[in-house]
Structures are given as C-alpha cells and as structure tokens.
C-alpha cells in the first residue's frame, strides 16, 4: 500500500462542498447523544420477548435527524430476547426482507439484502466463494496485513495515536476497495460515497447522488474486467453466471453498492468496540497479549458486548406468533441484535465485557439465511489488526490524559476516538 493511499484515507473525510458525511451519519445514528441504550432495551425486554412500540420514540432516542425509511409503519414489533431474534431470523418465509426495497433498494438497486428464498440463495451463491475462508486467507496476505501494517507504520515511532482515526476507520475501506479492484486514487471518494449512500434517512437526495457516484467509479473498472478479468471481486461478478445468464451491469453495480458500506462501516465499528473493551480492561488485554489463543473468543465477546449495528428490519407475511406474542400480517418487525446479545436469559452478567466468558453464539452477524456474507472477512481483519497492535506497540494503553472515552450510538455504535499511548518503537 502506497504512502499516497494512506494519506488520502486519513486526510480526506469531507467532500468538495465541506459536507462531512461521516460526522453527519454518526450524529444521525445517535453517536455523541446516546451513550448507553441497553437500559432502554432491558426495560422493554422485561415487558416481553417481543414488544409493540412507537418507532419514532424508540429509534429516535437522542439521534437527532433520523427519519423512518419509506414503507415503515410508526408502530413496530421489536424482538428483544435472544430466542425471539433467532426465531424471526430463521424464518425468512414468515418474516420477509423485501421491505428493504422501499428504503435501501432505492439507492443500492436490487440486492440480496431485499431478496427472500429461493432467489436470495441463488444470487448470494454468485459471490459466496469470494468471501469464504480459503479466499480470505489469500486476501489476508495480499491486502489486509499490508494495509494494517502500512497504517501502523505512520504512528509506531510517535508513542501515541488515535486508533479510530488512524487505524480502525481507514483500514477496512482500503481492504474492501482493494478486493473490488478499484484504483487507489478512488479510495477516498469511494469511502465518502459509501457513507452518503446509507445516509438516505438523513438526506435522501444526497444518498441518490452517492448511488450515481459509486456507479461511475464501478463502471470504469467493470468495462475493463469484462474483457480482461483479474483476481478481484468485480472480475468475479463480471464473469459469474446465474442459471446460464451473466449478470447485467446494473445487477453488478447493485452488488457492489451493498458491499461498499458493509465492508467499511461495520468492521471499523466492531474492531473499535473490541479495542475499547480490551483497553478499558487492561488485565484482559494483557491476557490476550500473552496468549493469542484467546483472540478468537475475545473477538466474539467484543461482538456480543457491543455489536456495531444494533438492529435490522423484517416484515411479517402472515399472522403469526413469536415466543407467544401475536404479530399481525404486514407488521414491521425490528430485530434488536444488541438486546439479544445482552439477554440475561442466555448470558450471565451480560453487560460485562469478559473474554473468558463461556462461548455461545451471538447475533452480531445476524442469523439464518441472511447471516453476514462478509463475516469471515470481518473476523480476519479484526484478528490481523489486533495481532499487529499487540506485536508492534509495547505497553499499549488508553491515554491517561484522555477523558471519558466510551462507545456511543443508538443505531450504529462505536467510540468516537481511541486515544492511546505506548512505548515508541524507532
């Protein structure tokens, strides 16, 4: 990874008009306004595993400019217990993803996000292999590790850094853009547009412009890959066949628009949350430093304790029940992943961060047919980043001069900064 690429990722957060999509998106997600939503979720869960609420009062708690997407009723049924969340996500026939066509589908195009079975599995299978464990091992050597170490190179001799701004925020977008095969000069614009794309609840018109902007970036590469394929995701999509027919350009653009924010936003937040958990529990950080065999369970605990995205939506296709609670046909169902991950019926002392916790699956990557396609990529990215930090930054700890470092947000969650100090390495 070149020095120019690193500089571009770190120094170009805003567009030419001065608008900072990252800050606006964070504000609309409740970052800086909502510190701890889990008491709210816990109080709701005490009312039952599924609770009918007013969506405006529920999702807009302290989050400023958030508006409900089109097609979402102001009254929604919130699945809060681990059992209820698992039930809804497992049953795609009763709880459809098609409602995303009215919101994210407007800016992304038709993607697997809004598809139900059997269509979902057919399209997902086109790119599944590119995100499998074997493929990710190759990306780890070629791309993930060089990106991470290239960023650490910039601050390793300084003895202090903000790990959000200087590492966890820029590195996942460089990875997903590199996997797509985009030229390095497009990385900063790609990152900005990816965030503007999913900010449609804040600024619909800007989201639509971002959709067109991403299409322009992808189109330049796709035309080349149609005739001269390479070892990248755009080449895979350009030559994939579905039932004997190749994907159209617009279908490929839709796939890529979906991967853009998914590959950048959630990994940056989940790796930041894990680092905050470890840095605020120095004994656990040192345990992981001494025994890297603890790293996989530490990563899973970070995901359980502070999922990067708290909720997703489904729509009931028929009258049904979830854990004994009636849900009518047509109802919007909010699946609260964060509440499920802190369900005291499943996890002992669920609000505590504990890398030694008994291993149980969590809902951070969702569940069932729509479980996160990039799960193995995200896990590998986080493992590479944490190993690199532990290997290269002796004495890593939160900056004692920093005040009130914490995770924040109501929809997406992450710390706004992670100021750290360490023994500088010359």
The pLDDT, as a whole number, for residue 345 is 96
Would you state the pLDDT for residue 55? 67
Residue 426 forms part of a structural domain: no
In a domain, 331, yes or no: yes
Q: Does any domain span residue 369?
A: yes
Q: Average pLDDT for consecutive 10-residue bins of the chain (426 residues)?
A: 50 59 77 90 96 68 45 78 98 94 88 92 84 88 95 96 95 94 92 86 86 95 94 91 85 92 88 98 98 97 97 95 96 96 97 94 93 92 97 97 94 94 87
CATH number at residue 108: 1.10.630.10
Percent of the chain with pLDDT strictly greater than 90: 69
Residue 371 lies in a domain: yes
Q: Is residue 335 part of a domain?
A: yes
Number of domains in the chain: 1
Instruction: State the residue range of the domain holding 363.
Output: 3-421
Threshold 0.85, pTM exceeds: yes
Distance CA 260, CA 395 (A): 35
Residue-level pLDDT at 6: 54
Q: Is residue 137 part of a domain?
A: yes
């Amino acid at each position: 990874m070149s020095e120019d690429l690193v500089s571009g990722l770190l120094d170009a957060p805003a567009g030419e008009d001065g608008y900072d999509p990252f800050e606006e998106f964070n504000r609309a997600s409740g970052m800086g306004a909502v510190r701890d939503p889990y008491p709210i979720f816990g109080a709701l869960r005490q009312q039952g595993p599924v609770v009918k609420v007013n969506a405006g009062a529920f999702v807009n708690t302290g989050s400023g400019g958030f508006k409900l997407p089109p097609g979402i009723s102001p009254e929604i049924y919130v699945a809060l217990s681990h059992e209820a969340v698992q039930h809804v996500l497992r049953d795609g026939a009763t709880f459809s993803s098609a409602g995303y066509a009215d919101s994210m589908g407007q800016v992304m195009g038709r993607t697997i996000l809004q598809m139900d079975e059997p269509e979902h599995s057919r399209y997902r299978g086109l790119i599944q292999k590119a995100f499998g464990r074997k493929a990710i091992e190759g990306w780890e050597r070629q791309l993930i590790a060089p990106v991470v170490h290239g960023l650490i190179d910039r601050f390793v001799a300084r003895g202090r850094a903000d790990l959000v701004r200087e590492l966890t925020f820029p590195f996942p977008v460089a990875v997903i853009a590199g996997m797509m095969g985009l030229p390095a000069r497009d990385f900063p614009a790609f990152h900005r547009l990816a965030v503007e794309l999913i900010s449609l609840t804040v600024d619909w018109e800007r989201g639509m412009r971002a959709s067109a902007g991403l299409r322009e970036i992808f189109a330049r590469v796709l035309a080349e890959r149609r005739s001269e394929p390479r070892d990248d995701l755009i080449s895979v999509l350009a030559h994939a066949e579905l039932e004997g027919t190749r994907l159209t350009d617009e279908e490929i653009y839709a796939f890529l628009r979906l991967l853009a924010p998914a590959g950048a936003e959630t990994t940056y937040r989940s790796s930041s949350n894990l680092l905050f958990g470890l840095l605020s529990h120095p004994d656990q950080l040192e345990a992981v430093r001494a025994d890297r065999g603890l790293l996989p369970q530490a990563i899973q605990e970070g995901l359980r304790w502070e999922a990067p995205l708290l909720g997703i939506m489904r729509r009931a296709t028929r009258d049904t029940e979830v854990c004994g609670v009636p849900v009518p046909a047509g109802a919007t169902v909010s699946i609260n992943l964060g509440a499920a991950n802190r369900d005291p019926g499943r996890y002992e002392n669920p609000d505590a961060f504990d890398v030694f916790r008994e291993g149980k699956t969590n809902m951070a990557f969702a569940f069932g047919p729509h479980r996160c396609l990039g799960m193995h990529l995200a896990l590998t990215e986080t493992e590479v980043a944490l190993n690199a930090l532990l290997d290269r930054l002796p004495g890593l700890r939160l900056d004692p001069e920093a005040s009130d470092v914490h995770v924040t947000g109501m929809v997406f969650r992450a710390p706004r900064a992670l100021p750290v100090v360490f023994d500088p390495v010359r």
